[in-house]
Copies of this chain bind each other. A is one copy, B any other.
Amino acid sequence: MASRASTEKKLLDAADQLLFRRGVTATPVDEVLALAGVSPATLYRAFGSKDGLLVAALERRLDTWLLTWEAAVAAAPDDEARLLAVFDALETFRSRPDGARWCAFLGSAAEHADPPAPLAAALARDTDELRTRLRALAVPVVGEAGADELASSLLLVVSGDLAMRLRDGHVSASAARDVATAVVASARRKTGR
């Protein structure tokens, strides 16, 4: 006897494993249903549509990602390591069983010409969290003055790491971290720290 919460969780788990590996459009609803062991009616009652399930999966995923990132920050020894911990977290998150091919948020947004509002909101929240938290972690490293610019630069590097996963396999895991290290050093020099 399946409770409502557990069938919804099964659907979200299935969505996580399929939609973000194969792509949203490329994955038939039937496969999600089959993996979840759930009937179509359940999906449409709980989430309204395939897109509804997608958005719910993204929201849950963002929470998980932020926890992963927080753990990496907590494990880092000093201010600069805390700022760069996002790259450790990316690696950890990528190696999860439901790790996306590149990025669940960017990938979902990229599939729509003009993403529907709830989907755009999910990506915007991801972007905001990245920028805001990077900025907060940047303050101890370069001070208030340089924090905005450094956060934007690092967000670009993070996005670059994600996009590189779509290209051929030449990419070393530490490439993004190396670039970020250079960016931080440059910002430090600029602010005299």
How far does the alpha carbon of A182 sit from the alpha carbon of B190 in the complex, in Å? 11
B111, A111: Cβ atoms closer than 8 Å: yes
Number of identical protomers: 2
Pairs A-B, 8 closest by C-beta atoms? A160-B160, A182-B186, A22-B113, A159-B163, A163-B163, A156-B160, A127-B167, A26-B113
Given A168-B127, A179-B157: A21 and B110 within 8 A (CB)? no
Q: Is A142 an interface residue (CB 8 A)?
A: no
Q: Is A175 an interface residue (CB 8 A)?
A: yes
**Which B residues are in CB contact (< 8 Å) with A172?**
152
Chain A, residues 166-193, CB within 8 Å of chain B (1/0): the string is 1110111001101101110111000000
A175, B153: Cβ atoms closer than 8 Å: yes
Q: Is A162 an interface residue (CB 8 A)?
A: yes
**Which B residues are in CB contact (< 8 Å) with A101?**
113
Give the number of residues in A that approach B within 8 Å (Cβ atoms): 51
How far does the alpha carbon of A178 sit from the alpha carbon of B131 in the complex, in Å? 17
Q: Is A42 an interface residue (CB 8 A)?
A: no
Q: Which residues of A contact B (CB under 8 A)?
A: 21-23, 25-27, 101-103, 106-107, 109-114, 123-124, 127-128, 131, 149, 152-153, 155-164, 166-168, 170-172, 175-176, 178-179, 181-183, 185-187
B23, A111: Cβ atoms closer than 8 Å: yes
**Which B residues are in CB contact (< 8 Å) with A158?**
160
Given A153-B178, A182-B182: A25 and B170 within 8 A (CB)? no
In the complex formed, the residue of B with least CB distance to A106 is: B166
**Which B residues are in CB contact (< 8 Å) with A23?**
110-113
Residue of A27, A112, A113 contacting most chain B CB atoms (<10 Å): A113
